[in-house]
């Protein structure tokens, strides 16, 4: 039903106690440290963004090739390439501060509980960081990453350890590569997580028909893009039924309609990933489209639709 109400819809939302002007968040690994995209548009239009996954020491990442195209998406096996937490603090964040005046989400990765906690401890004093997004679900590295996100006890252990070194909200990023994502979600909630983000990429691969070998040097990589949206939406919906903490929906989002669908499934904010790599203005355009789409569906405030698709609406 199309509404005749011409008042400006309310795009604001709240993520773990911090108010956002809108729910659109570029996902980690697709937006660098922000200032790169500031050359294209004013990134202060964003709700916030999750900066590139950061580890304790610098990482070069996986061997090349580490990107592969596929229908309705892409595969990546970048392998958490980043300059390390000390360089992020001394070089990346000062450059970001000159072009972004809102709290930013720090995406943190690690290969041990000690690494997760140390990275968060060093970043904790950085004023511009509003949230920690703790990635326990990266499928593109060996000896860590996704290991912590596929076992409830390990996920809970990381959550508890990180919560002990920071007072900032801790959002745990979950893997879809499990039999029941709600079990991991509940373990993180019980361990003190302030929120959850889901989903990370699905594991996939491509084969070069001429070489008769995998396209990616890593053999497998993270599958993302529009094709994963229905699977991501299903997991957000199921997780919203299982927990009572905020959810950031991720996975194949590329339009304002996708944002609203994710929020109706139970998300209070939505990350946009692969779309940024295809079209650098994707998040800006989604934000600009939201008021028109909200009017189309008679939505006056985004806060009122979080969880609206559930039989007993969750707020």
Tokens 């939201």 sit on residue: 290
φ, ψ for residue 14, nearest 5 deg? -125, 130
4 band by pLDDT with thresholds 50, 70 and 90: very low
Tens-digit pLDDT profile for residues 135-191 = 997 654 544 455 677 889 999 999 999 999 999 999 999 999 999 999 999 999 999
Give the residue among 17, 16, 21 at the shortest CA–CA distance from 47: 21
* Long-range residue pairs from 275-278, CB within 8 A, at least 24 positions apart, any chain: 276/26, 276/27, 276/30, 276/31, 276/37, 277/30, 277/74
Cα–Cα distance, 126 to 146 (Å, whole number):
27
φ, ψ for residue 175, nearest 5 deg? -90, 140
Give the residue among 129, 132, 139, 152 at the shortest CA–CA distance from 248: 132
Beta strands in 138-268 (DSSP E): 170-173, 195-198, 202-204, 207-208, 213-214, 221-224, 247-250
Give mean pLDDT, residues 40-61: 96
Tens-digit pLDDT profile for residues 223-241 = 999 999 999 999 999 999 9
Cα–Cα distance, 8 to 91 (Å, whole number):
39
In the chain, the N- to C-terminal Cα span, in Å, equals 23
What's the pTM value of the predicted model, to 2 decimals? 0.93
CA 253 to chain centroid: 11
Beta strands in the chain (DSSP E): 13-15, 18-20, 24-26, 67-70, 73-76, 104-108, 129-135, 170-173, 195-198, 202-204, 207-208, 213-214, 221-224, 247-250, 269-272
6 band by pLDDT with thresholds 50, 70 and 90: low
Give residue 16's pLDDT: 97
Cβ atoms < 10 Å from Cβ of 126: 15
Could you say which DSSP state residue 255 is in?
S
Cα–Cα distance, 53 to 201 (Å, whole number):
14
Q: Which residues 6+ apart lie within 8 Å of 18 measured at CB?
A: 103, 130, 131, 169
Tokens 């140390």 sit on residue: 118
Cα–Cα distance, 46 to 283 (Å, whole number):
7
Give residue 187's pLDDT: 97
Class of domain 13-305: alpha beta
Q: Is the pLDDT of residue 98 over 80?
A: yes
Question: 105, 133 in Cβ contact below 8 A?
Answer: yes
Cα–Cα distance, 279 to 45 (Å, whole number):
16
Question: 242, 186 in Cβ contact below 8 A?
Answer: yes
Task: Report the DSSP beta bridge partners of residue 82.
Answer: 59
Q: Is the pLDDT of residue 47 over 70?
A: yes
Question: 160, 117 in Cβ contact below 8 A?
Answer: no
Tens-digit pLDDT profile for residues 109-126 = 998 999 999 999 999 999
Indicate which residues carry an active-site annotation.
Answer: 138
Q: How far is CA 89 from CA 77, 130, 313, in A?
A: 25, 14, 41
């Amino acid at each position: 039903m199309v509404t005749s109400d011409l008042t400006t819809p309310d795009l604001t939302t709240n993520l773990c106690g911090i108010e956002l002007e809108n729910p659109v968040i570029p996902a980690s690994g697709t937006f660098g440290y922000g200032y790169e995209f500031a050359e294209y548009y004013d990134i202060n239009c964003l709700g916030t963004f999750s900066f590139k996954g950061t580890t304790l020491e610098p990482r070069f990442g996986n061997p090349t090739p580490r990107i592969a195209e596929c229908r309705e998406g892409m595969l990546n096996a970048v392998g958490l390439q980043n300059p390390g937490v000390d360089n992020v603090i001394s070089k990346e964040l000062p450059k970001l501060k000159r072009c972004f005046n809102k709290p930013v989400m720090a995406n943190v990765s690690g290969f041990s509980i000690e690494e997760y906690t140390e990275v968060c401890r060093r970043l904790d004093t950085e004023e511009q960081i509003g949230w920690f997004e703790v990635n326990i679900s990266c499928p593109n590295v060996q000896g860590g990453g996704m290991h912590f996100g596929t076992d409830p006890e390990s996920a809970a252990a990381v959550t508890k350890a990180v919560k002990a070194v920071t007072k900032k909200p801790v959002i745990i990023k979950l893997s879809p590569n499990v039999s029941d994502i709600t079990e991991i979600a509940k373990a993180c909630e019980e361990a003190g997580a302030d929120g959850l983000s889901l989903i990370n990429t699905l594991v996939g691969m491509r084969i070069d028909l001429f070489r008769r070998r995998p396209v990616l040097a890593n053999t497998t990589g993270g599958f993302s893009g529009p094709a994963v949206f229905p699977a991501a939406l299903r997991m957000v919906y199921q997780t919203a039924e299982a927990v009572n903490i905020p959810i950031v929906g991720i996975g194949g989002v590329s339009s304002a309609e996708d944002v609203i669908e994710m929020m109706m499934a139970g998300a209070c904010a939505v990350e946009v990933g692969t779309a940024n790599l295809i079209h650098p203005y994707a998040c800006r355009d989604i934000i600009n489209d939201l008021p028109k789409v909200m009017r189309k569906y008679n939505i006056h405030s985004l806060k009122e639709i979080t969880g609206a698709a559930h039989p007993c609406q969750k707020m």
